Structure 1
Amino acid sequence: MAHTDEKADVLKVVGWIEERLAENIALEDAARLVAVSKYHFHRVFHAHIGMPFAEYVRQRRLANAAGELVVTDRRILDIAFDYAFESQAAFARAFKRTYRMSPGQYRRFFGTFMDKGRNQSEEDTDMKQTEQASGPNGWVLAGSDPGDYDIGTDVTTAHRGRASGRLQSRSEQAQGFATMMQSFRAELYRGRRYELSAFIRNEEVASWCGLWMRVDGKNEDMLQFDNMADRPISGSGGWSKYSVVLDVPEESESISFGVLLAGAGKVWIDSVRFEEVSLNVPSTNMEEPVVLPDRPINLDFEDIAGPPEL
């Protein structure tokens, strides 16, 4: 089989897989589709896609499931069964290995991720994913449509040093959002104010991109958040420094940050810094604090808003 024929066969099977992610998918059936032995096709598929057939199917199912967790309120158990996991526990284990958080945590985290300053309904949830890339050490790919995006290390483009991190859409039709991110415990940083800064370069960003940081308390309650939705980066631009500044309250449990990309385009990030700053540096927190009154009010319900009586 010529190389071009092999590639065509692999792409044919990739399309076939996309139509059957909620069904039983066997290597034997895929090989039969292109009229070769399953052993030969397994080798060819691995060579062209970069991972074994079964792992590719698993990653595609997880990517679709991740999207459903964010944009629907379906039960996690139903999503697990739809994507051929034998139990919710098996789905949760596989999901956590890939996304470094449980399905429930992922839903809570990204369910409100794009709401600050943007309408979530603007995000089209079409699933047009192929393989999911592995990221730079310490960073993971997540979001509403992670399968529509790639992350990686780019040794051809850097702000300083030898490499930068890259997040890009797989096609010009990408409509959701994705982020290259990391999370860590908050114990060492409680009670202080921190600035996350980085140099960002963007290319043909159709919607917007930006730096973001989030501080969570117990039960993944969001305490502080900024995703630059009120000062978005779009189009194309050279390396420029951006920053977000948040407080880390004493009740904080975790800190997460990264770079996000909504829609199509490409963004690079380099020279990332996470540093304590003085309280004189203004916070960019977008999470409005809840201000409680000092005492009970309007206990007789006579304080009625409206025009004064004549």
Structure 2
Amino acid sequence: MKKLLTKTVLFACCLVGAAHAAAPPGWFVYVNRAPSTDFEAGTEPSHRASGSISAFLRAKTDSNGFATLMQTVDAAAYQGKRVRFSGYLRTKAAGKGQLWMRVDGADKKTAAFDNMEDRAQQGDQDWQHFDVVLDVPADARDIAFGLLLQNRGEVWADGLAFDVVDKSVPTTGNQPHALPAAPVNLHFAN
């Protein structure tokens, strides 16, 4: 399994070309709907806490796409548990700066997802702490998570943590929902 995960990460890194060169060890950059050269990633001394390091994503030009600095891990150790990805974000002229996490099931379909779409930082925002909390099904295959920048500007992350939390901590994302067995409200009366 470790070899498969390593091959997957190496393949993803090859897809993004030059953008990968600045990714911190253990992380890779994925760019959607934009040339990989439209975004850059890296690390720098933190402005939040003395002596720590921040990661950043920066758009070199306005774009209709997004970039993420991310990791994907095997879900085996987290199956049947609730996990939290958290940390501090700061933005400058950002379209949207977000943390995100996705849990994929054995069928390779998304089992749970949250990208902070409804609470993303936009424009210029100082450091704020954010949590993304999802349930990991018993048959989960992998967990992907990271820092996301949409369209333009810059986003920094600092103080990131990934941990198992008690079920009393509420989830933040979209969980799979059951589909109705038959059509509903076809007359729009409800």
Question: What TM-score range do you get, normalising by the shorter chain?
Answer: 0.7 to 0.9
Q: 1:213 aligns with which of 70, 80, 101?
A: 101
State whether residues 167 and 268 of structure 1, in contact with CA within 8 Å, keep that contact through their aligned partners in structure 2. yes
State whether residues 111 and 176 of structure 2, in contact with CA within 8 Å, keep that contact through their aligned partners in structure 1. no
Q: Deviations over 1:44-80 (max 9, x none)?
A: xxxxxxxxxxxxxxxxxxxxxxxxxxxxxxxxxxxxx
Larger Rg: 1
- Give every structure 1 segment of 4 or more consecutive aligned residues whose post-TM-superposition deviation is greater than 4 Å: none
Instruction: Name the CA distance, whole Å, in 2 between partners of 1:217 and 1:229.
Output: 22
* Percent identity over paired residues: 31
Matched, 1:260 2:148: yes
State whether residues 140 and 181 of structure 1, in contact with CA within 8 Å, keep that contact through their aligned partners in structure 2. yes
Q: 1:224 aligns with which of 99, 112, 115?
A: 112
Superposed, 1:168-179 pairs within 5 Å as 168-171=58-61, 173-179=62-68
Instruction: Name the CA distance, whole Å, in 1 between partners of 2:43 and 2:168.
Output: 35
Q: Deviations over 1:228-286 (max 9, x none)?
A: 11112101111110111100010101001001111111111011111121212111122
More strand, by proportion: 2
Question: How big is the shift at 1:188?
Answer: 0.5
Matched, 1:306 2:187: yes
* Structure 2 unaligned blocks of 5 or more: 1-6
Alignment TM-score, normalising by the size of structure 2: 0.82
SS in 1 for 2:55: strand
Return the letter of the residue paired with 1:221: K
Question: How big is the shift at 1:95?
Answer: 8.7
Q: Deviations over 1:124-175 (max 9, x none)?
A: xxxxx9943420011110031333111111125453633111111112x233
The 1:193/1:155 distance shift into structure 2, 3 A limit, reads same
Superposed, 1:147-226 pairs within 5 Å as 147-155=37-45, 157-159=47-49, 161-171=51-61, 173-205=62-94, 207-226=95-114
Question: How big is the shift at 1:99?
Answer: 1.3
Look up the match of 1:24. Answer: none
Return the letter of the residue paired with 2:10: R
Instruction: Name the CA distance, whole Å, in 2 between partners of 1:181 and 1:246.
Output: 17
More helix, by proportion: 1
The 1:282/1:168 distance shift into structure 2, 3 A limit, reads same
Superposed CA RMSD = 2.9
Alignment TM-score, normalising by the size of structure 1: 0.52
* Structure 1 unaligned blocks of 5 or more: 1-93, 104-128
Return the letter of the residue paired with 2:102: R
